Amino acid sequence: MQVQDISREQSAQLFDKAKNYFPGGVNSPVRAFKSVYGTPLFIERGDKAHLWDADGNEFIDYCCSWGPLILGHNNPHIREAVESQLGKGLSFGAPTRLENELAELILSNNRYIDKIRFVSSGTEAVMSAIRLARGYTQRDKIVKFEGCYHGHSDSLLVKAGSGLVTFGETSSAGVPKTFADETIVIALHDREALQQVFKDFKDQIAAVIIEGVPANNGLLIQDREYIHFLRDITKTNGSLLIFDEVITGFRLGFEGAAHHYGIQPDILTYGKIIGGGMPVGAYGASQEIMGHISPDGVVYQAGTLSGNPVAMAAGIAALSILAQPGFYEKLEQTTLAFVENLRAFIDKNQLEVQIFTIGSIFWFAFTAQQKIQRADQIDPASMERYKIMHRELLNRGIYFGPSGYEVGFISAAHTAEDLETTLIAIKESLLIACS
Ligand SMILES: *Cc1c(COP(=O)(O)O)cnc(C)c1O
């Protein structure tokens, strides 16, 4: 069924202006709609699972601000918590009761960390975790996996080339080669590669870092055995295992991917959901490891706006809801029913597309492969189909992230009616994208 393109007059005008102010017209690159059709939509407001843009178009949102909005937009509990803090001041640069409250809520419901430090973004959380791992082990090298995103700090903006073990090659200009050399990048789900790294760099590796579930380059769900293998090999070699749970923390469950896989990582990082929509990140570990952080220890890390009271208030309100029994079970059931409905449609119409899902995360892959667990298994040419689907969905009032490598999220604010409307739109869009 053909539908008309949405009007983007206001958004296009705003984007033209923005291009004078910001590189590429945006303050974070993927927002620029470079890998989908059209210009970015400028958002005016959101409520529950819905978004409205500058042209008055309404959408059901599955990007959810890239993950943080597990309770949807404009949640009344979060809004009231923020509003009641506003009258008391925005920032003090001194401790507040609110930081204790959020920490208590997290630590008493998360068996994987004893102590936590709040920062203001996921990037900062991971960057600090890497420094802590290096300070703790007194080793310099870190191992990361191709396709895992850990924010934009120097050590982690390194991608892999091909081959068994690839030395760091900067994927961003401006990262000194000497920094990149300390980052070893290997493919996910490849045991031999990791064994080789530990042989080649014996006693030099501070940490292996992995996303709880890699979800920044498609959704690359690893086998449980592989995650346990990671835990074992790092322990054997005196290296730390860092679980970057910036997406999976408070998404797969209150205890994130660590609990999903039943392992104890050495350092965990959080972001996105933890601030209820405000800028918050955090890292946590055992008493012993966290004892190395300043002012107790010698690993320095600080922040003028860390533990910001308004952000803490939003985090407390959000996480209090997530900690209630049954929250995650319900969200997961909703997501699975949604995905199963689409899978049946895909089978019936013999479309070449898979939907991968875990918790309330889902990802469309335009491929015949039943499993994708490594970045190099994604065919870049398949993104053309995503591009078409993305356009068709926008035209039908459904907002997905503007890149086929990005996952979608279902929030607790998505109603049965929202999901029903979305299923119809996705089915129509898939038929067009796959034709
Ligand atoms: C988003 C993300 C980050 C970076 O968080 P920012 O808040 O964007 O700095 C780090 N790690 C993972 C796994 C992420 O998804």
Whole-angstrom CA distances from 353 to 92, 230, 376 are 51, 30, 17
Q: Which residue has the higher pLDDT, 251 or 170?
A: 251
Do residues 349 and 118 make contact, with C-beta atoms less than 8 angstroms apart?
no
From 304, 322, 340, the end of a domain falls on: 322
What's the average model confidence in pLDDT over 40-68? 98
Number of residues assigned to the chain: 435
Q: Worst-scoring range by mean pLDDT, 140-154, 230-244, 386-400?
A: 140-154
Query: What's the structural domain count of the chain?
Result: 2
- Res 167 pLDDT > 50: no
- Res 166 pLDDT > 80: no
* Best mutation site among 216, 251, 405, 406 for ligand 1 pocket (most ligand atoms within 8 Å of CB): 216
In a domain, 257, yes or no: yes
Q: What is the domain extent for residue 217?
A: 76-322
In a domain, 39, yes or no: yes
Render pLDDT for 315-328 as a digit per residue (tens, 0 to 9).
999 999 999 999 99
Q: Do 224 and 341 reside in the same domain of the chain?
A: no
Rounded CA separation 10/157 (Å): 35
pLDDT of residue 240: 98
Cis peptide before 402 (omega within 30 of 0): no
Which pTM value belongs to this model? 0.96
* Best mutation site among 63, 123, 213 for ligand 1 pocket (most ligand atoms within 8 Å of CB): 123
Ligand 1 contact via 122 beta carbon (within 6 Å): yes
pLDDT of residue 161: 39
In a domain, 2, yes or no: no
Q: Do 284 and 144 reside in the same domain of the chain?
A: yes
pLDDT of residue 38: 94
Assign 434 a pLDDT band (cuts: 50, 70, 90): very high
Q: Do 233 and 148 reside in the same domain of the chain?
A: yes
pLDDT of residue 173: 83
- Alpha helices, DSSP H, located in 281-382: 287-290, 309-322, 327-348
pLDDT of residue 81: 98
Assign 265 a pLDDT band (cuts: 50, 70, 90): very high
Do residues 198 and 141 make contact, with C-beta atoms less than 8 angstroms apart?
no
Assign 329 a pLDDT band (cuts: 50, 70, 90): very high
Ligand 1 contact via 120 beta carbon (within 6 Å): no
pLDDT of residue 170: 52
Q: Do 224 and 361 reside in the same domain of the chain?
A: no
Q: Do 311 and 345 reside in the same domain of the chain?
A: no
- Lookup result for tokens 């936590």: 116
Whole-angstrom CA distances from 218 to 35, 67, 133, 364 are 14, 14, 27, 8
As annotated, the active-site residues are 149, 244, 272
In a domain, 348, yes or no: yes
In a domain, 97, yes or no: yes
Render pLDDT for 57-108 as a digit per residue (tens, 0 to 9).
999 999 999 999 999 999 999 999 999 999 999 999 999 999 999 999 999 9
Q: How far is the CA of 150 from the centre of ligand 1 (A)?
A: 6
Assign 180 a pLDDT band (cuts: 50, 70, 90): confident
From 266, 300, 322, the end of a domain falls on: 322
Q: Do 81 and 70 reside in the same domain of the chain?
A: no
pLDDT of residue 202: 96
Q: Do 41 and 90 reside in the same domain of the chain?
A: no
Please give the mean pLDDT across all residues of the chain: 95
Indicate the pairing of strand 50-53 with strand 43-47.
antiparallel
Assign 162 a pLDDT band (cuts: 50, 70, 90): very low
In a domain, 346, yes or no: yes
Assign 225 a pLDDT band (cuts: 50, 70, 90): very high
Q: Do 250 and 390 reside in the same domain of the chain?
A: no
Q: Do 379 and 244 reside in the same domain of the chain?
A: no
> CATH code at 424?
3.90.1150.10
What's the average model confidence in pLDDT over 145-166? 71
Assign 164 a pLDDT band (cuts: 50, 70, 90): very low
pLDDT of residue 88: 97
Ligand 1 contact via 123 beta carbon (within 6 Å): yes
In a domain, 56, yes or no: yes
- Res 159 pLDDT > 80: no
**Atom of ligand 1 at shortest distance to CA of 148?**
13
Rounded CA separation 194/164 (Å): 9
> CATH code at 87?
3.40.640.10
Render pLDDT for 338-390 as a digit per residue (tens, 0 to 9).
999 999 999 999 999 999 999 999 999 999 999 999 999 999 899 999 999 99
Q: Do 160 and 257 reside in the same domain of the chain?
A: yes
Ligand 1 contact via 401 beta carbon (within 6 Å): no
Q: Do 243 and 345 reside in the same domain of the chain?
A: no
Percentage of the chain lying above the pLDDT 90 cut: 91
In a domain, 110, yes or no: yes
Do residues 250 and 274 make contact, with C-beta atoms less than 8 angstroms apart?
yes
- Res 169 pLDDT > 60: no
From 291, 322, 353, the end of a domain falls on: 322
Within 10 Å of residue 154's Cβ, how many Cβ atoms? 17
Q: Do 102 and 212 reside in the same domain of the chain?
A: yes
Ligand 1 contact via 149 beta carbon (within 6 Å): yes
